[in-house]
Structure 1
């Protein structure tokens, strides 16, 4: 396993919800990442974010790790969920909120 894969696996396994994104939740660097942050904030769940723009190994490695070509990418309890379009579809259908409840994801601290 590559060093990038180990680092990705480590952060995914240690956090209930992880968003690999461009930028940070306070300063998203693309519209898709901004939408993903807004969705997670609306779900009121605690999540870890990883700025792929800060590390090219992670930026390329996450695409191979998930076998998904685009960023952002959402992981819940170690499982890949999808990108911002899938997040939006699931959120609008209430499925993302159900997934968070089923997986007993911690609520965001106020």
Structure 2
């Protein structure tokens, strides 16, 4: 697992275990800024977390708890290294998992009360 993969996976785990870690504005900001390039996603998360020492420390702890190597899909033992296609698919899935974790950790929006105005 690359550092970028491990970093994104750790952030997802952090979100799932601490859904109240981010406020609504932070979640939306991250959702709006998630780039296409996987390395850039990892860099965005690192840069954002560096501004928030409490979250950065938590992310580092989760990242350290993750294994360095994770099986990518079901592969025969002889296939020790993933193909470029497998890596790209894994990163695409991780990106989707990140987006879903951000969306699911957001509190449900409350409807504005329908109060009549005095005209």
Q: TM-score, normalised by structure 2?
A: 0.29
Greater RCO (Cα-Cα under 8 Å, separation 6 or more): 2
- Structure with max Cα Rg: 2
Decide which structure has greater helix share.
2
Decide which structure has greater strand share.
1
